[in-house]
Chain A
Amino acid sequence: DSGVTQTPKHLITATGQRVTLRCSPRSGDLSVYWYQQSLDQGLQFLIQYYNGEERAKGNILERFSAQQFPDLHSELNLSSLELGDSALYFCASSVGRRGDDEQFFGPGTRLTVL
């Protein structure tokens, strides 16, 4: 158990809908990272937050947004969903802010868009 929790485990929704994925980092970690894992794209970095502020942005679509709250949990919002958004979404956390330390991954949320 990495200490990172993600909810829900599975999410099934329809095209055009909006969903929110939630992540609680490991105790003491200030950075939260979001990744998308799909068969065709592999593991893609989406965005990083450190202590409530956005630190780095990767291949995140404009339809997607994230935030980190004062209690350090984070939410990833996906809107106007398309079939291609179906994927496994991972949250990870680490102590540092530079992105170069060991990251602890949650179990992921599997999103299916029908």
Chain B
Amino acid sequence: AQSVAQPEDQVNVAEGNPLTVKCTYSVSGNPYLFWYVQYPNRGLQFLLKYITGDNLVKGSYGFEAEFNKSQTSFHLKKPSALVSDSALYFCAVIPKRDSGAGSYQLTFGKGTKLSVIP
């Protein structure tokens, strides 16, 4: 069974500083990895996705994530945090399939609340 761990319930960072939100995963075989963001009273929004290739994935709103296969991690990063980045961030995993008619469910982590302090 696949699983995702987000070890920090909350991350606080000062505006303008770099931010990192951590994620580790467990899945059989190779993974597809995702980051989603949830603003208060809203649904989740897709930020970025790792499929294959370059380990550094660039996404929306200046976010990027680094895939590290040996550490089974997919940490979300941004060079300079904005107050408007304050939200709940979810990492998610699904096993990669080369073929087949099956369907896999996306497994989410518990979420990390990011607070950017002005």
Instruction: State the A residues within 8 Å of B (CB).
Output: 2, 4, 33, 42-43, 45, 48, 50, 55-56, 58, 90, 92, 97-100, 102-108
Cα-based distance from A99 to B104 in the complex (angstroms) = 6
Q: Which residues of B contact A (CB under 8 A)?
A: 32, 34, 36, 41-46, 49, 90, 94, 96-97, 102-111
Give every chain B residue within 8 A of A102 (Cβ-Cβ). 34, 46, 49
The answer to whether residues A99 and B94 also contact, given A43-B108, A56-B105, A58-B105 and a CB cut-off of 8 A, is: yes
Per CB-CB distance, the 10 closest pairs between chain A and chain B, nearest first, are A105-B43, A55-B103, A43-B108, A56-B103, A45-B105, A105-B44, A42-B110, A102-B46, A99-B103, A99-B104
Chain A residues near B36 (CB-CB < 8 A) = 105
Taking a contact as CB atoms closer than 8 A, the residue among A42, A43, A90, A100 that contacts B94 in the complex is A100
Bound complex: CA A4 to CA B43 (Å):
10
The residues of A that contact B32 with a CB separation of less than 8 Å are 100
Interchain nearest-CB distance for B62 vs A (Å)? 18
> Are A98 and B43 neighbours in the complex by a CB distance under 8 Å?
no
| Complex: A92 Cα to B106 Cα, angstroms | 12
- A12 CB to nearest chain B CB (Å): 17
Is B111 in contact with A43, judged by CB distance below 8 angstroms? yes
Residue numbers in A under 8 Å from B102 (CB-CB): 98
Residue of A nearest to B97 (CB): A98
Using Cβ atoms and an 8 Å threshold, which residues of chain B touch A48?
A: 103, 105
Contacts of B90 in A (CB 8 A): 43
Residue of chain B at shortest CB distance from A98: B103
Alpha-carbon distance A98/B110, docked complex (angstroms): 23
What is the CA–CA distance of A49 and B102 in the complex, to the nearest angstrom?
Answer: 12
